[in-house]
Amino acid sequence: MGSPAPASELERRPEETLRASAVSRSFEGVRALQEVTLELHRHEVVGLVGPNGAGKSTLVNLLTGFDLPTSGTVELRGREITRWSAHRRTRSGLARTFQHSRSFRALSVRENVEVAALGVGARGREARRRAEELLERLALTALADVRADSLAQGDERRLGVARALVTEPAFVLMDEPAAGLPEAEVPEFAAVVRAVRDDHRAGVLLIDHNMALVMGVCDRIHVLDQGRTLAAGTPEEIRGDLNVAAAYLGETAVDTDA
Amino acid sequence: MSVLASIDLNTLGDAFGLGAIYALMAVGIGLVFGVLRLVNFAYGQLIMAGAYTLAYTTSWPVTASIVACFAVVVALSLAMDRLVFRPLRSSSPAVMLVTTFAVSFLLQAVALIIDLRDGTLGEVASAVAPLNQAITVGGVDIRKVTFVAVGVALGALVALALVLARTTIGLHTRAAASDFRTARLLGVRANRVIGFAVVVSGLLAGAVAVLLTVQNPFVQPAFALEDTIVVLVGVVVGGIDRLWTATLGGFAIGFVSVLVNAALPTDQTIFLPSVVYALVIVVLLLRPAGLFAWGRRAAMERV
């Protein structure tokens, strides 16, 4: 669904790429990730899927600076960032949303976004202005003064996206944004993901188990299994790949035409 | 014979006065707890250090004496964070709590050594004592310090509320109190937020030192120790997870202590702590999350 909007040649340049090159990560001898290479360009949505324990979270942690690879490198817009702190990556255009949203529960929706804006160098009034703007775009203006912990699931996910986008990122990593989201709200969230790609021209790495969402919005899909790349390609290619169907998609692959 | 009969306007004034002082202490303790997850048992020794400063500067002009008191308390508060709390920042809350006990006893021992240089235990801070005189308002004698205490408490609380609500450092402090890790990820500087909490908490301790010394100019190493224990209990009763409920808890226990003290027969005041703590137990049995904690959300907001 939706017209695929492939990244243009301009956006495939190294300066506009987030790249993990042959990254591996072992935890006390257990190889969680083995020689995985993944590229994300601006203006595209790449899905990262795989069964539990496939290494998705490990890869995201390496990309966002929550963990260091045992070997391999991470590059952001032509610069090696393998050992950069998470916050430094955010300031350089790599934002993320969290699996359990991690919003500041006691703060208002507006303040949540404001803190993120301040974090990338916006000053008092400017941070507030940018926060208002993002709330507007994500249809959260009416909820601006509401405490973050009283939001419904769908609104909370959009708050997470607003908090990421206010840092004006080139890339956004979304960690299981549809987890816990009522099925009826998934299409609405898919529209948000597309807007991040089309309106903000950011590259999105989408990690999720909801195959309707992944198949519906992704331009490319990267499948991990047991720490290795099992397959990579367009949603159509992945859907037709029997290995993938066996490893992960299983029965659900048949009825994912959202 | 009636309990209420023994509570006159005079007592009510004292109750508000002590409640206000305990509320200030509760804010000082609650603010640091919100950011560092640390219950600082040594908070009373900050106040004690301030009281000694007032006692040793009695010959100075009162203003200079009070400024010195604030300076010493804030410096000690910062030193405590830098030398003790910062190295333990990743330790468990239990380790940190026990450490603050150690700091508390250490500072009392140091105070004892300094105090005993003149061969007698205790010093008298006489310069600020005139504030303890009563003025008559509508036929009721109320001590000046009561007005000062209530005024200072209200002023400090309003000012702090505004800073927390309106400024960047306030927003950062609330974010850090809500989720320290995520706040750091979003670029909130841990040391700035902690420094802010530690300094404000020190300023409050300085104010409390002045107010308590006015009421009781006899300063010794255990000065403010019992008050701190009572306030810690009050903070837990109010709900330590939120700054404002903790503050109300501090106020309530100060207020109730004075009323219970007045209600008890003169020869029975030794039972004051028993009665107060019995009330605390009843409250915690009825409302385990804290007297002022409402609903599920109560456990989440810390500042």
ipTM: 0.79
pLDDT at residue A256, as a whole number: 41
Least Cα distance to B202 among B25, B83, B54 occurs for B25
Query: Percent of chain A beyond pLDDT 90?
Result: 61
Backbone phi, psi, residue B273, to 5°: -60, -40
Mean pLDDT of A212-233: 92
Q: Tell me the pLDDT tens digit for each residue of B27-58.
A: 999 999 999 888 999 999 999 999 999 999 99
Distance from the A153 Cα atom to the nearest Cα atom in chain B, whole angstroms: 16
Q: Supply the pLDDT for residue A42.
A: 93
Residue, of A123 and B25, whose pLDDT is higher = B25
B175: nearest CB among A87, A91, A107? A107
The chain-wide mean pLDDT, for chain B, equals 88
C-alpha–C-alpha distance, residues A100 and B45, integer Å = 41
**B192 to chain A: which residues are within 8 Å by CB?**
none
Which among A106, A114, A124 has CB closest to B301? A106
Name the pLDDT band for A1 (thresholds 50, 70, 90).
very low
pLDDT of residue A191: 93
Q: Which residues of B touch A150 (CB under 8 A)?
A: 297
- Most B CBs within 10 Å, among A115, A134, A156, A166, to test the B interface: A115
Which of these ranges, A195-204, A234-243, B96-105, has the smallest mean pLDDT? A234-243
Superfamily classification of domain A9-102+168-253: P-loop containing nucleotide triphosphate hydrolases (3.40.50.300)
Smallest Cβ distance to B178: which of A91, A104, A127? A104
Phi, then psi, of A72 in degrees rounded to 5: 100, 170
User: What pLDDT does residue B187 have?
Assistant: 85
Mean pLDDT of chain A: 87
Instruction: Tell me the count of A-B CB pairs closer than 8 A.
Output: 63
Chain A residues with CB inside 8 Å of B175's CB? 104, 107, 111, 115
Contact residues on chain B for A114, CB-CB shorter than 8 A: 171
Look at A107 and B178 and tell me if their CB atoms are within 8 Å: yes
Reduce the secondary structure of chain B to three states and give it as a string: CCCHHHCCHHHHHHHHHHHHHHHHHHHHHHHHHHHHCCCCCCHHHHHHHHHHHHHHCCCCCHHHHHHHHHHHHHHHHHHHHHHHHHHHCCCCHHHHHHHHHHHHHHHHHHHHHHHHHHCCCCEECCCCHHHHCEEEECCEEEEHHHHHHHHHHHHHHHHHHHHHHHCHHHHHHHHHHHCHHHHHHCCCCHHHHHHHHHHHHHHHHHHHHHHHHHHCCEECCCCCHHHHHHHHHHHHHHCCCCHHHHHHHHHHHHHHHHHHHHHCCHHHHHHHHHHHHHHHHHHHHHCCCCCCCCCHHHHCCCC
**Does residue A176 have a pLDDT over 60?**
yes
All residues of chain B having their beta carbon less than 8 Å from the beta carbon of residue A149 are: 297, 300
B contact set with A (CB within 8 A): 168, 171-172, 174-175, 177-179, 182-188, 297, 300-303
- Across the beta sheet with A17-27, the strand order is A30-41, A17-27, A71-76, A79-80
List of chain A residues whose C-beta atoms are within 8 Å of the C-beta of residue B183: 104, 115
CA dist list (Å): A118 to A2, A122, A123, B123: 35, 5, 6, 49
The predicted structure's pLDDT at residue A254:
41
| B235: pLDDT strictly greater than 80 | yes
